[in-house]
């Protein structure tokens, strides 16, 4: 076994690899970009080395810089994690040339599965079933169009070099084909530096079922069953589970054996995933692609098999045989993973950047695992993936596991950035999800039910919000008094605190444009709060170092979290979470309305297409321009009907968040 390994990655996967390495007694070496100098993976590793500036091309993708660190630190092997260099055959080769073990398959196996088109050709010869389509080398647009006609609409255009749903576009009819092809090619060229595509029949209601395989250097290969990753948004996985609900054991076995055959056909070694589309109506399954690395969703397989796949990777890479054979592997219970992202479901899931002011997760144990790569105070930047953490739950059966997931999501607290947690809760509570009625268009179909309007803050939430404000003022007053050595400083008096007679005040909280008033009576022994609806409670409590508020409302103790950012107050309590704006009479109300008629860049990025004619009238929702940011294309639309007077940007412009991109006159 190695004594020291380098992890050529960041975030949650780097932390997850370090955890297993440490348990096995291995020393760990982290690498980091300037943006990550204080990151969690750097803090966790035994040693850490800077490899360059924030952009990935200048740091996490720099092969020479990483190999140089391996040499300087004396690491004997490199774990690439997922993404970045994990499926880069040149990196695997360069490791070998430098005398460092690449913890992954041989370069030839990466190459064989590297392009989706080549992989499909190879699997066709190996007798693995494929979705009807075209995956030839000839990329003449007229030929691609003719192939699409032959396959029959709708078709899916995919980047041959693709991954992560990028460069993938559906063309529902001949009329859409050219535009979708152009967009797939642009996205693919930007993300992978390669604009070749393949075309597949777009299946209407498939499930995404993938098989985890593992091979050692002695020629043995096993499958660790399947994961169902049908809950996807824009072809990206959101929730994954193992085993796949209602998968007949005979299909499981055939799929597992096909996956092992695929791995063997390319001389595979290490952890790999063979992805299939599964058609439950016909019982058929079709090869999509093989990922020659550890997957984001590997924890659900670990939970149901009781194995540590990173430990397996380290053992196999050091030359050991697989720890167990196929017959030793069994499925135990049910596991579900949800990906927590910094993205705003109310703004078409736009990735969010900023600081995690507060981060709270459910306690971990045999039923709950949290794989995170960030802590409170860390930033989510434009440079990297906006995933905050993965929540993984396990229980004896699916229904219990779903309940665990709902509880885990309910106990997840993020302040500072919008996240998809409410959307995940919507998914985990949806009757069709509970009924395991899954397919890859689940989210599209149930979209309207998945983002229920949050309930308005009830009296208890308002009482907690108000109590936090009062205790926070008290603390400020105490600190100010201590600093001025004057126990009767004006700070103390204006708040009425410690005055002999009772003083009154009103706190105004704004929620979704509505003002909610809380009357405050200052008393010698605490506060009395008069809540909307006529209820009134005595309130007291204190802040704990971890940011929690131990409240006492009419003698009932409540553990909650109260976080303030400027005028925004977020309260988490056992009944839910609320974000309220404190309207301070002195500073005036904060007007949060976005001025009508503005189209501003939601994040830094590059303008890649202008879609309307300047001076023309546009409908509400009409696409105006395409912004490429975080390797994805985002279409910005007209906020209302009106006239597009002029564009304030040109194709190729790099724009900053908040830049006005068009001059627009709204109608009416």
Least CB distance to ligand ADP at residue 102 (A): 21
User: In angstroms, rounded to a whole number, what is the distance separating the alpha carbons of residues 21 and 225?
Assistant: 25
CB of 164 to ligand ADP, least distance (A): 5
Q: Would you give the binding string for ligand ADP spanning residues 229-268, x where CB under 6 A is met? A: ---x--x---------------------------------
Which region, judged by CB under 6 A, interacts with ligand ADP, from 20-28, 52-60, 105-113, 156-164?
156-164
Q: Which residue has the tokens 């989510």?
A: 380
Smallest separation, CB 108 to ligand ADP (Å)? 20
CB of 131 or CB of 461, closer to ligand ADP:
131
- Strand pairing partners for 368? 393
Query: Binding to ligand ADP by residue 206, rule CB under 6 A?
Result: yes
- What residues have CB less than 8 Å from 75, skipping those under 6 apart? 2, 4, 5, 6, 29, 69, 100
Cβ 171 to ligand ADP, closest distance in Å? Answer: 12
Site string for ligand ADP, 162-181 (x = CB under 6 A): xxxx--x-------------
Question: Site residues for ligand ADP, window 120-139 (CB under 6 A)?
Answer: 131
Token reading at 218 = 């002695």
- Residue 143 CB, nearest approach to ligand ADP (Å): 19
Instruction: Kindly list the distances between the CA atom of residue 502 and the CA atoms of 469, 497, 526, in Å, as whole numbers in the listed order.
Output: 18, 9, 11
Q: Are strands 236-242 and 334-341 parallel, antiparallel or unpaired?
A: antiparallel
**What's the CA gap between 104 and 25, in Å, rounded?**
20
Q: Any contact of residue 202 with ligand ADP (CB under 6 A)? A: yes
Residue 280 or 642 with smaller CB distance to ligand ADP: 280
Give the residue, chosen from 156, 507, 553, 662, that forms a contact with ligand ADP under the rule CB under 6 A: 156
Which residues have CB under 8 Å from 373's CB, separation 6+?
A: 10, 11, 12, 13, 14, 15, 39, 40, 41, 387, 389
Nearer to ligand ADP, 282 or 330 (CB): 282
Q: Which is nearer to ligand ADP, 158 or 422 (CB)?
A: 158
Annotated active-site residue in 293, 404, 422, 460: 293
293 catalytic residue (yes or no): yes
> Can residue 226 be called a binding residue for ligand ADP (CB under 6 A)?
no
d(CA 177, CA 157): 9
Give the per-residue contact string, 431-450, with ligand ADP (x = CB under 6 A; - = no): ---------x----------
User: Residue 364 carries which DSSP code?
Assistant: P
Q: What angle do CA 508, 510, 514 make, to 5 degrees?
A: 110
SS (H, E, C) 145-197: HHHHHHHCCCEEEEECCCCCCCCEEEECCHHHHHHHHHHHHHHHHHHHCCCCE
Contact pick of 289, 343, 495, 633 for ligand ADP (by CB under 6 A): 289
119 binding ligand ADP? (CB under 6 A)? no
For residue 141, give both structure tokens. Answer: 């647009």
Q: Least distance from C-beta 206 to ligand ADP, angstroms?
A: 5
Q: Which of 151, 203, 222, 662 binds ligand ADP (CB under 6 A)?
A: 203
Alpha carbon of residue 632 to chain centroid: 14
Q: Note whether 274 binds ligand ADP by CB under 6 A.
A: no
| b/e 475-497 (16+ beta carbons within 10 angstroms → b) | eebeeebeeeeeeebebbeebbb
Asked if 192 is part of the footprint of ligand ADP (rule: CB under 6 A), the reply reads no
Smallest distance, Å, CB 166 to ligand ADP? 6
Identify any residues that bridge with 392 across adjacent strands, giving them in sequence order: 337, 369
CA dihedral 304, 308, 313, 314 (to 10 degrees): -170
CB of 33 to ligand ADP, least distance (A): 25
- Is the bond preceding residue 154 a cis peptide, omega within 30 degrees? yes
Q: How many binding residues for ligand ADP (CB under 6 A)?
A: 21
Cβ 268 to ligand ADP, closest distance in Å?
Answer: 18
Does residue 288 interact with ligand ADP by CB under 6 A? yes
Task: State the Cα–Cα distance between residues 31 and 34, nearest whole angstrom.
Answer: 10
Q: Which of 275, 308, 495, 633 binds ligand ADP (CB under 6 A)?
A: 275
CA torsion 294→295→296→302, rounded to 10°?
-80
- State the alpha helices, DSSP H only, in 230-360: 249-265, 298-305, 309-317
In the set 200, 241, 308, 425, which binds ligand ADP (CB under 6 A)? 200
Residues in 470-499 at the binding interface with ligand ADP, rule: CB under 6 A: none
**Closer residue to ligand ADP (CB): 113 or 336:** 113
Counting Cβ atoms within 10 Å, is residue 363 exposed (0-12), middle (13-18) or buried (19+)?
Answer: exposed
Q: Which residue is nearest to ligand ADP (CB)?
A: 440
Question: For binding to ligand ADP (CB under 6 A), which residues are involved?
Answer: 131, 156, 158, 162-165, 168, 200-203, 206, 208, 232, 235, 275, 277, 288-289, 440
Q: Which residues are catalytic?
A: 293
């Amino acid at each position: 076994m190695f004594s020291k390994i380098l992890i050529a990655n960041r975030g949650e996967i780097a932390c997850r690899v370090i955890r297993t390495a440490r348990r096995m007694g291995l020393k760990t070496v982290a690498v980091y970009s300037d943006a990550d100098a204080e990151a969690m993976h750097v803090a966790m590793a035994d040693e850490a080395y800077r490899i360059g500036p924030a952009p990935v091309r200048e740091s996490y993708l720099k092969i020479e810089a990483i190999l140089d660190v391996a040499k300087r630190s004396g690491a004997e092997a490199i774990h690439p994690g997922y993404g970045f260099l994990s499926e880069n055959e040149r990196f695997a080769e360069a490791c070998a040339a430098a005398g460092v073990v690449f913890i992954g398959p041989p370069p030839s196996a990466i190459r064989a599965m590297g392009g989706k088109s080549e992989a499909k050709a190879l699997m066709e010869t190996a007798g693995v079933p494929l979705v009807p389509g075209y995956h030839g080398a000839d990329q003449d647009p007229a030929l691609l169009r003719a192939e699409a006609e032959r396959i029959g609409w709708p078709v899916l255009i995919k980047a041959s070099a693709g991954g992560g749903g990028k460069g993938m576009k559906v063309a529902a009819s001949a009329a859409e084909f050219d535009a979708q092809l152009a967009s797939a090619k642009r996205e693919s060229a930007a993300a992978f530096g390669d604009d070749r595509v393949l075309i597949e029949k777009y299946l209407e209601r498939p499930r995404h079922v993938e098989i985890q395989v593992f091979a050692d250097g002695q020629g043995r290969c096993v499958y660790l069953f399947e994961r169902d990753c049908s809950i996807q948004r824009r072809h990206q996985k959101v929730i994954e589970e193992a085993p796949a609900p209602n998968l007949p054991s005979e299909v499981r076995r055939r799929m597992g054996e096909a996956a092992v055959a695929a791995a063997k056909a390319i001389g595979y070694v290490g952890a790999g995933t063979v992805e299939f589309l599964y058609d439950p109506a016909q019982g058929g399954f079709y090869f999509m692609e093989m990922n020659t690395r550890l997957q984001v969703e590997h924890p659900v397989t670990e939970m149901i098999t009781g194995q540590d796949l990173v430990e397996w990777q380290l053992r196999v890479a050091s030359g050991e045989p697989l720890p167990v054979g196929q017959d030793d592997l069994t499925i135990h219970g049910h596991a579900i993973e949800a990906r927590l992202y910094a993205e705003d479901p109310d703004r078409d899931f736009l990735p969010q950047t900023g600081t995690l002011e507060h981060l709270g997760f459910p306690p971990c144990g045999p039923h709950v695992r949290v794989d995170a790569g960030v802590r409170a105070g860390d930033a989510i930047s434009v440079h990297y993936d906006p995933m905050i953490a993965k929540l993984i739950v396990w229980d004896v059966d699916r229904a219990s596991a779903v309940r665990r997931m709902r509880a885990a999501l309910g106990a997840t607290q993020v302040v500072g950035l919008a996240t998809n947690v409410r959307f995940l809760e919507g998914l985990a509570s949806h009757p069709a999800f509970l009924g395991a009625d899954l397919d890859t268009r689940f989210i599209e179909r149930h979209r309207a039910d998945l983002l229920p309007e949050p309930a308005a803050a009830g009296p208890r939430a308002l009482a907690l919000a108000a109590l936090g404000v009062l205790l926070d003022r008290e603390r400020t007053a105490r600190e100010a008094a201590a600093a001025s050595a004057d126990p009767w400083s004006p700070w103390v008096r204006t708040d009425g605190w410690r005055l002999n007679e009772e003083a009154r005040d009103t706190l105004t909280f704004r929620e979704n444009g509505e003002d909610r008033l809380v009357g405050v009576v200052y008393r010698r022994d605490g506060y009395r709060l008069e809540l909307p609806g006529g209820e009134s409670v005595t309130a007291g409590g204190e802040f704990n170092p971890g940011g929690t508020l131990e409240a006492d409302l009419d003698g009932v103790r409540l553990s909650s979290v109260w976080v303030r950012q400027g005028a925004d107050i977020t309260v988490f309590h056992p009944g839910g979470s609320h974000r309220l704006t404190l309207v301070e009479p002195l500073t005036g109300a904060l007007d949060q309305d976005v001025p009508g008629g503005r189209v501003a860049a939601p994040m830094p990025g590059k303008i890649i297409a202008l879609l309307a004619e300047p001076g023309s009238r546009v409908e509400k929702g009409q696409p105006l321009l395409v912004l490429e940011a975080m390797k994805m294309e985002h279409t910005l639309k007209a906020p209302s009907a009106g006239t597009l007077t002029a564009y304030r940007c040109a194709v190729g412009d790099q724009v900053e968040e908040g830049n006005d991109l068009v001059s627009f006159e709204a109608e009416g």
